[in-house]
Amino acid sequence: MNCRDAEPYLLDPPAHLDAAVRAHLTTCAACRTAQATLIESQVLLRTHLPVPPPSVMRTAFYTTLVELQRTRKAVVGPGRWIVLWRSHSLRLAFAFLVVFALGAVSMQILQADQASGSEVQAVLSQLGAPSPATRLTGVYTVSEGEMTEAQVHEALLTVIRTDPSVNVRVAALEVLTAHAQDAAVRAAVVHVLGSDPAPLVQLAALRFIEAHPSAEVHRALDTLLQQPDLEPFVRAQVRTFLTTPI
Amino acid sequence: MDPFSDEALMARIRQGDLEHAGLLFERHHGALYSFFVHTTRQPAVSQDLAQDVFVRLLTYRTSYQLGARVRPWLHQIARNVLADHWKRPGNAAIPLDEAPPLPSSQSPAVELERSELRARLDGALARLNPDNRELLVLSHVSDLSYDEIAETYGITVNAARVRVCRALKAFRTLYTQHEASDELPRR
């Protein structure tokens, strides 16, 4: 093998050329220098090219995802019902349902107006809505209302402990990051880290506590690593975190 | 198959279980953002383009072939998104001297110390032809293997290996020229 043949393979020769490239390198100082230069360039690029993504991307993505899930349900539904709509009896049943639903909704609106009228209850009702998109909106607006700090914490901690949607729980953890100075909030997030089975929630909890390392956090992470079915990506993130000294 | 592998997650997304897209986003949005930042040199635009990749992933999820590797597929989408971006009127590459400094993954103190080195690297990378730049970003930021690069571009593994090596050599030449021109006035 001469320099020209070896040149394209100086970095990672394929298996069948490996021995030939190695043999050439032992006899050619110029190619050894070229190889060292290429390796140095690789290190430079790997160290300096990665650019941290802004956190706003995460919020935008999860909002899009929830919106898409909602739209999808809306699109899938009518497609099936249009076929059934041709049935006369179904139209009658539908008319009856509309009248019934309008009555029920009017009653609910009247009751809600009488019972609350306050912004706090409006946000709380958003957090308890059946639609994940509504609950997500509630999570992102909870800190903007008239609620006290304690009420905000309570509402969001309830969401991260009980909400059935992973995306809503992740969003609540992100909003709680602004309240990380509160020891009770930190303790609750550490608890979630060990108890929530969803890898996404575990990652969000890990991001939350990254800025607040403590012996307690390290203990919780050690326990988390004991879980045999822990998602490998989460395991790698936890290990990276644990190698960082407190 | 590992139930949390990219491919297993994508299979579930394909079936309509969109919630699993979150984990794919967590794994890959950083690399995709870096890819767009280095190819467009516009951080704000890069956010939208990276977001667009995931929107397309969700929208065209049924076109994903079960068992196919997800990373090359995602980067194929990213390359299409980038091509569409350049086709739109008014979207042109920003000249190097007008481009804002790119965000860094280093802390401010480390960044200050390394800013000169970083400027040289950015300069050399920006002067590289777009194909070589894209290849270097895919291989050194997205960390795609030669196999995956070959799949992304639809070329052989050996061709991918040779192209990456040549791109790196071209980068090194520009980087060294830049270094030499920096040192010239001091002599």
Q: How confident is the model at residue B180 (pLDDT cuts 50, 70, 90)?
A: low
Q: How confident is the model at residue A230 (pLDDT cuts 50, 70, 90)?
A: confident
| Residue B101 is assigned to a structural domain of this protein | no
Q: Which of residues 61-100 of B touch A (CB under 8 A)?
A: none
* Pairwise CB contact (< 8 Å): B29 & A233: no
Q: Residue A228 corresponds to which amino acid?
A: P
Range of the domain at B119: 106-187
Structural tokens at position A216: 């307690």
Which residues 6+ apart lie within 8 Å of A89 measured at CB?
Answer: none
3-class SS of residue B144: coil
* Pairwise CB contact (< 8 Å): A233 & B23: yes
**Residue B13 sits in the same domain as residue B65:** yes
* Pairwise CB contact (< 8 Å): A14 & B136: no
A170, A139, A56, A43: CA torsion to nearest 10: -20
* Cβ contacts of B136 on chain A, cutoff 8 Å: 45, 49
CATH code of the domain containing B165: 1.10.10.10
* Cβ contacts of A69 on chain B, cutoff 8 Å: 18-19
Structural tokens at position B72: 């090359």
Q: How many other C-beta atoms can be found within 10 angstroms of the C-beta atom of residue B106? A: 17
The per-type count for chain A, helices as H runs and strands as E runs, is 13, 0
User: Shortest Cα distance from B40 to chain A (angstroms)?
Assistant: 13
- For chain A, which domains are there? 3-48 (no CATH), 56-243 (1.25.10)
The last residue of a domain, from among B66, B94, B122: B94
* Pairwise CB contact (< 8 Å): B118 & A48: yes
Q: How many other C-beta atoms can be found within 10 angstroms of the C-beta atom of residue B161? A: 22
**Residue B79 sits in the same domain as residue B129:** no
Number of domains in chain B: 2
Mean pLDDT of chain A: 77
The last residue of a domain, from among B71, B94, B117: B94
Q: How confident is the model at residue A90 (pLDDT cuts 50, 70, 90)?
A: very low
CATH code of the domain containing B8: 1.10.1740.10
The last residue of a domain, from among B34, B63, B94: B94
**Residue B85 sits in the same domain as residue B1:** yes
User: Shortest Cα distance from A165 to chain B (angstroms)?
Assistant: 8
**Residue B3 sits in the same domain as residue B90:** yes
pLDDT at residue A117, as a whole number: 46
**Residue B1 sits in the same domain as residue B82:** yes
**Residue B81 sits in the same domain as residue B124:** no
**Residue B112 sits in the same domain as residue B187:** yes
Q: What is the DSSP string of A73-134?
A: HHHHHHHHHHHHHTSHHHHHHHHHHHHHHHHHHHHHHHHHHHHT-SHHHHHHHHHT-SSHHH
Prediction ipTM score: 0.79
C-beta of residue A50 within 8 angstroms of C-beta of residue B136: no
**Residue B81 sits in the same domain as residue B135:** no
C-beta of residue B136 within 8 angstroms of C-beta of residue B168: yes
* Cβ contacts of A165 on chain B, cutoff 8 Å: 19
Q: Is A53 on the interface with B (CB under 8 A)?
A: yes
**Residue B21 sits in the same domain as residue B86:** yes
Q: What is the pLDDT of residues A163-205, one digit of tens each?
A: 888 878 888 888 888 888 888 888 888 888 888 888 888 888 8
**Residue B113 sits in the same domain as residue B86:** no
* Pairwise CB contact (< 8 Å): A51 & B16: no
C-beta of residue A167 within 8 angstroms of C-beta of residue B19: yes
3-class SS of residue A230: coil
Q: Is B181 on the interface with A (CB under 8 A)?
A: no
**Residue B2 sits in the same domain as residue B77:** yes
C-alpha to C-alpha distance for A10 and A32, rounded to whole angstroms: 8
**Residue B68 sits in the same domain as residue B117:** no
C-beta of residue A172 within 8 angstroms of C-beta of residue A139: yes
